[in-house]
């Protein structure tokens, strides 16, 4: 049983890691993609927007479906869909085919994270906090490595070949999922599960569900907004850093999440998820307040980004709170709802930050705005203030996650 559940998780983890590498490759190769497909800045923003919308919607639907049908079938077929859409993108000759490919890709890849979380909740019980942190840490490590390597060794000069390689890897991943992901145990078959509406009613009535949702949105949602706006190009234009300096600074967040995830997960297994969640999210808050108050050197910024990354790794502890405080039949749909809410929250915060930096502009226009207006540190502070507020909300919610304990079995627990 132990070997089977490890192989089940490992095959889903490979799929999840590849989904992140697809997004990283798109970010790294955005200039080459624009040039090859003759895309404008708004076209490129629309590709990202369509992917974001289909990914967020797919997470909610597939995250619920995966606990009601079969994890093997959901992950396997979405793996094949991801491979097909990645290949379609690699042979695209214009905006329309690229847009269709990215819309399909958003749906295909949307099952990855919720799939891993579902399998861990089903198979690992008390070790959920550590294993979920480990899953995120491994993925962040590969993403950081690809970003740093591409900055110092520009080996990715054409977007088609990398995405075709990713296509082959996604096909292999889908085959592994079909072969290795285990089925439901008899006690949790669909026939014995309460209805989906009852699962949602139990979740919504539970105060700790709302605390976990706010905590996860304030950590993971803020992380999405921050990494999407303060990317390498932003650092180069705003602070005049070199591409190598910017790549190293930005890689500090996923590297910090790698280390912090393992520490937070191990700590949560020993003493429960509540205390490490509070300590780690407060560390993020302190780091962002420091950045809000004073301008820092590249070295100091990199150090703070690493510490903040460690703190952001606590986001999975919000999902651990769902596993602990909700009945087993309610945890998967509650997780899907929480993860989707975080993506929506991150998407809403980004234009607010963009407006604070440059007035009533769309987030997709932020780069052009920075290049043309050369804003000062005060402008940077106005944008960062929104993220500080988001993290502060997560810090407050961490005190309402509740003590860890055995998984709740009472549907009316609140």
Average pLDDT over residues 92-114: 94
User: What is the four-CA torsion angle of 259, 262, 263, 266, rounded to 10 degrees?
Assistant: -170
pLDDT at 399: 95
Which residue, 119, 4, 16, is CA-closest to 71? Answer: 119
HSE of 43, CA atoms in CB hemisphere, 13 A: 17
Tell me how crowded residue 194 is: count the other CB atoms within 10 A of its CB: 13
pLDDT at 4: 86
- Residue 411 confidence class, pLDDT cut points 50, 70, 90: very low
Average pLDDT over residues 75-88: 97
Q: Which two tokens stand for residue 288?
A: 């962002």
Check: CB of residue 390 under 8 Å from CB of residue 216.
Answer: no
* 321 has pLDDT over 50: yes
* 191 has pLDDT over 80: no
Report the distance separating Cα 160 and Cα 166, nearest Å: 10
Q: Return the higher-pLDDT residue of 51 and 151.
A: 51
- With b for 16 or more beta-carbon neighbours within 10 A and e for fewer, the 234-262 pattern comes to bbbbbbebeeebbbbbbbbbbbbbbbbbb
* 371 has pLDDT over 50: no
* 172 has pLDDT over 90: yes
pLDDT at 115: 94
Question: Mean pLDDT, the chain, as a whole number?
Answer: 83
pLDDT at 42: 76
- Tell me, rounded to whole angstroms, the distance of Cα 340 from its chain centroid: 10
- Residue 359 confidence class, pLDDT cut points 50, 70, 90: very low
Reported pTM: 0.81
- Residue 362 confidence class, pLDDT cut points 50, 70, 90: very low
Q: Return the higher-pLDDT residue of 362 and 390.
A: 390
- Tell me, rounded to whole angstroms, the distance of Cα 233 from its chain centroid: 21
pLDDT at 113: 94
Which ranges in 91-127 belong to alpha helices (H)?
95-109, 111-123
Q: Return the higher-pLDDT residue of 158 and 284.
A: 284
* 1 has pLDDT over 60: no
* 212 has pLDDT over 50: yes
Average pLDDT over residues 386-413: 74
For the chain, percent of residues with pLDDT exceeding 70 = 80
Domains observed in the chain: 8-177 (1.20.1250.20), 194-404 (1.20.1250.20)
* 156 has pLDDT over 70: no
Check: CB of residue 255 under 8 Å from CB of residue 309.
Answer: yes
Which residue, 222, 307, 301, is CA-closest to 263? Answer: 307
- Residue 41 confidence class, pLDDT cut points 50, 70, 90: confident
| Gyration radius of the chain over CA positions | 21
Least confident range of 126-130, 256-260, 407-411: 407-411
- Residue 84 confidence class, pLDDT cut points 50, 70, 90: very high
* 85 has pLDDT over 60: yes
Q: What is the pLDDT of residues 257-314, one digit of tens each?
A: 889 989 999 999 888 899 999 999 999 999 999 988 887 777 888 888 899 999 999 9
Report the distance separating Cα 333 and Cα 282, nearest Å: 28
Q: Return the higher-pLDDT residue of 227 and 59.
A: 59
Q: Which two tokens stand for residue 200?
A: 């949602």
Report the distance separating Cα 281 and Cα 313, nearest Å: 9
Check: CB of residue 395 under 8 Å from CB of residue 282.
Answer: yes
* 342 has pLDDT over 80: yes
Q: Exposed (0-12), middle (13-18) or buried (19+): which is 187, by Cβ within 10 Å?
A: exposed
């Amino acid at each position: 049983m132990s070997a089977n559940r490890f192989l089940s998780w490992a095959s889903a983890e490979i799929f999840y890691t590849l989904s992140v590498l697809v997004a990283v490759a798109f970010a790294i190769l955005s200039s080459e993609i624009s040039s090859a497909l003759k895309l404008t800045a708004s076209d490129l923003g629309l590709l990202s927007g369509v992917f974001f919308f289909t990914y967020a919607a797919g997470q909610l639907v597939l995250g619920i479906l995966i606990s009601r049908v079969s994890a093997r079938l959901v992950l396997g077929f979405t793996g094949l869909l991801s491979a097909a859409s990645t290949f379609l993108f690699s042979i695209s000759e214009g905006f329309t085919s690229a847009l269709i490919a990215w819309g399909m890709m958003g749906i295909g890849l949307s099952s990855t994270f919720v799939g891993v979380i579902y399998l861990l909740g089903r198979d690992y019980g008390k070790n959920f906090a550590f294993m979920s942190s480990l899953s995120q840490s491994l993925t962040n490590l590969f993403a950081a490595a690809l970003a740093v390597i591409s900055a110092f060794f520009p080996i990715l000069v054409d977007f088609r070949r990398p995405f075709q390689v990713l296509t082959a890897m996604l096909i292999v991943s889908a085959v592994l999922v079909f072969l290795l992901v285990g089925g439901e145990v008899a006690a949790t078959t669909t026939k014995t599960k309460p209805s989906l509406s009852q699962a949602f009613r139990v979740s919504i009535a539970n105060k700790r569900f709302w605390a976990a949702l706010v905590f996860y949105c304030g950590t993971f949602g803020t992380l999405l907004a921050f990494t999407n706006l303060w990317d390498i190009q932003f650092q180069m234009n705003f602070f005049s850093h070199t591409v190598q300096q910017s790549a190293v600074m930005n890689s500090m967040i996923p590297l910090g999440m790698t280390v912090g995830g393992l520490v937070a997960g191990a700590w949560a297994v020993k003493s429960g998820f509540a205390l490490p969640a509070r300590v780690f999210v407060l560390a993020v808050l302190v780091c962002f307040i420091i950045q809000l108050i004073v301008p820092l050197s590249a070295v100091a910024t990199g150090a703070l980004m690493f510490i903040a990354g460690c703190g952001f790794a606590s986001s999975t502890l919000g999902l651990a709170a769902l596993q602990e405080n909700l009945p087993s039949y309610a945890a998967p749909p509650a997780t899907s709802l929480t993860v989707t809410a975080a993506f929506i929250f991150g998407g809403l915060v980004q234009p607010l930050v963009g407006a604070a930096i440059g007035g009533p502009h769309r987030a997709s226009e932020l780069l052009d705005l920075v290049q043309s207006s050369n804003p000062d540190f005060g402008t940077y502070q106005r944008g960062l203030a929104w993220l500080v507020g988001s993290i502060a909300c997560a810090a407050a919610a961490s005190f309402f996650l509740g003590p860890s304990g055995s998984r709740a079995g009472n549907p009316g627990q609140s």
